[in-house]
Structure 1
Amino acid sequence: MSSARIVSVFGATGLQGSAVVDALLKDGTFVPRAITRDPNSATSQKLKARGVQVVRGDSLDKTSLVTALDGSEAVFAVTVVNSPRVDGQDEVTQGRNIVDAAKKVGVKFFVWTSLPGVKRITGGKLQNCSHFDDKEIVQEYLNSSGLVHANLMLPAFLENLWSYDILKKTDTGYTFALPLHSRKKLQFAWIERDVPAAALALLKNYTDASKNINGKAYPVVNAKVSHAELAEKIGQVLGVEVTYTQSPPMGIEEMDEMWAFVDEYEGYYTTPIPNPDLVALGMKFSTVDEFLNAEVKARYGQ
């Protein structure tokens, strides 16, 4: 019988999951198993070439998940947003299927990447931000499942600067625009660095009951800055003019509600930055300056 400490990673071909796989490989304590709908994709083949076990598992097919997770000590779970939302294919269905399959095969520890419920926080004023609300529904389901688990609460992704082509070239530098006032502060993380660091800290400590990890929610935030401040920092790193302007609503109900939520509740995670609970577990948070020098300078520098 294999003694390998297998961590099954969902989204292993995406930003969060691939970063977790990289961290697990580098650390060596655990063996990553990539769970993907298409083990034959080009990205899956690259994982296989690095020695990663790649297994088919569809979060909408619970039977495939039971097979895929068999033998896993732990699970790192992230779900895919389906837009427009379709009942039976949404993140609630995906997340509950993963939880059920993990429980069935005897997984010992479950890490869920989550978001706060907008409908709950606003008292029902905003009801259409499903990519937040669905994750909280799964979090509640996981909390009642009996599985030993922890929830990583994610902020805005610094990587969105290029993932969504937000930073635009101008004659004198760069500009970007989003539907949020320039002075409103947003909570951020360097997802590719901070999520795997947090996940690894939890995985290495979950067996120690004195750490009180089970059922806890951990905000993963490395900074709280306004877009005007972020533009200034980017400009300093690139040595060019970078400006931010507030754009009109996007005309997409779910996204417009998300920006309305951020505008009114800009500090929806109240934990100190960096999170002292994660720091106590050995996590080292990144900084915005590190992100800008390592990523933005390489991608946008002259």
Structure 2
Amino acid sequence: MPSPRIVSVFGATGLQGSAVVEGLLKDGTFTPRAISRNPESEASLKLKARGVEVVKGDSGDKESLINALRGSEAVFAVTLPAFLASATSEAPNEITQGKNMVDAAKEVGVKFFIFSSLPSIAKLSGGKYKNVVHYEEKAVVEEYLKSSGLANASLLTGAFLENYWHFGLLRKTPTGFDMAVPKFSPTDREAFTWVQRDIPAAVLALLKNYTDPSKNISGKSYPIINGIIPYGELAVMTGKVLGVEVTFTTVPATGLASQDEMFTAHVEYNGMYTTTTVANPDLASLGVKFGTIAEFLETEVKPRFGSLL
């Protein structure tokens, strides 16, 4: 029996990481290993019940990551903003998390590192928007990874389509549903990513091709965008699928600089990825077949929200 090709997955109990684990299990070429701060958590135990190896590792502790990553061929990494990672200010920032992951991977001989990143809004705006911390810290980690000497690739995401249910984007009204977003008007465009379908598809394509020098994968950043459309159009599309009225409402600012500047920048720059071709040709050339927003609405939104009518 050949040795398993282990891909260690950070954030394996979160949206992106769990999708990657699921994709690896279904494909079968690689063996997922979940890195968890608490291998005995309910989510970790569910992974174990499916036969997934769950190893203790804390992104704030590089030594624990060295132990956790030994024997891995590749890594899929997601860093967690401190405001999500912990209710306290003691959670390590994303730069610390990411650098620990990269350094540990390099030390144990990982061959390929995939990082879920975001663009620097400060750089894009020429310093106009400086407070979107979770974007800036991911961008720093991405540059650190590119200079590390590890073969690497970064995936860039838009607004998660899964926010329909993860963050309550779609809310029931007496006549149907309402879609409420700060800062955006109905005609402002946003870039959307179908995380659970196309993040694992991209990860698998990169893993299967990174050893081929003709593919020129290492050091590249790959936006994964399923559509760039106005929120008002998305509301209309959603209403047609559900057969009810779906309205769009611009809600007040959150009062948090990092969040409000993020929304404002997304409005100004049409979702941040206006130079990106939907169905990224670099990933399409590796065999990734992107889903569409219409498919997402039919397969994910209709079953979840149609029952509420």
Answer yes or no: is 1:286 the counterpart of 2:288.
no
Cα distance in 2 between the residues matched to 1:7 and 1:15:
17
CA deviations over 1:216-263 (Å, ceiling 9, x no partner): 010000101111011001100100000002122111111000011111
Alignment match, 2:78? 78
Alignment match, 1:48? 48
Alignment match, 1:298? 303
Runs of 4+ in 1 over 6 A off after TM superposition: none
User: Helix, strand or coil: the match of 1:181?
Assistant: coil
Alignment match, 2:134? 131
Answer yes or no: is 1:118 the counterpart of 2:125.
no
CA deviations over 1:71-109 (Å, ceiling 9, x no partner): 000000001111289587110100000000000000000
User: Helix, strand or coil: the match of 1:125?
Assistant: coil
What's the CA shift for 1:145?
0.2
Identity of aligned residues (%): 58
- Segments of 5+ residues of structure 2 without an aligned counterpart are none
Cα distance in 1 between the residues matched to 2:264 and 2:203:
30
Once the two structures are superposed, the pairs formed by residues 203-222 of structure 1 within 5 Å of their partners are: 203-222=207-226
Q: Out of 184, 199, 217, which is 2:203 matched to?
A: 199
What's the CA shift for 1:293?
1.0
Alignment length, in residue pairs?
302
CA deviations over 1:254-280 (Å, ceiling 9, x no partner): 100001111111153212111011000
CA deviations over 1:55-83 (Å, ceiling 9, x no partner): 00000000000000000000000011112
Task: State the one-letter code of the partner of 1:265.
Answer: Y
Once the two structures are superposed, the pairs formed by residues 182-197 of structure 1 within 5 Å of their partners are: 182-197=186-201
Task: State the one-letter code of the partner of 2:29.
Answer: T
Alignment match, 1:102? 105
CA deviations over 1:103-154 (Å, ceiling 9, x no partner): 0000000000100001111111111101111000000100100000001011
Q: 1:111 to 1:64 in 2, by over 3 A?
A: same
Alignment match, 1:235? 239
What's the CA shift for 1:197?
0.5
CA contact (8 A) 2:115 2:153 kept: yes
Task: State the one-letter code of the partner of 1:146.
Answer: G
- Segments of 5+ residues of structure 1 without an aligned counterpart are none
Task: State the one-letter code of the partner of 1:223.
Answer: G
What's the CA shift for 1:195?
0.5
Q: Out of 258, 261, 280, which is 1:257 matched to?
A: 261
CA deviations over 1:141-194 (Å, ceiling 9, x no partner): 001000000010111100111111121111110012112111111010110111
Task: State the one-letter code of the partner of 2:252.
Answer: P
Cα distance in 2 between the residues matched to 1:160 and 1:17:
16
Please give the TM-score of this superposition, normalised by the length of structure 1. Answer: 0.97
Answer yes or no: is 1:146 the counterpart of 2:149.
yes
Cα distance in 2 between the residues matched to 1:131 and 1:52:
29
RMSD of aligned Cα (Å): 1.4
User: Helix, strand or coil: the match of 1:272?
Assistant: coil
User: Helix, strand or coil: the match of 1:291?
Assistant: helix
Q: Out of 266, 272, 276, which is 1:271 matched to?
A: 276
Task: State the one-letter code of the partner of 1:58.
Answer: D
Cα distance in 1 between the residues matched to 2:127 and 2:90:
20
CA contact (8 A) 2:157 2:224 kept: yes
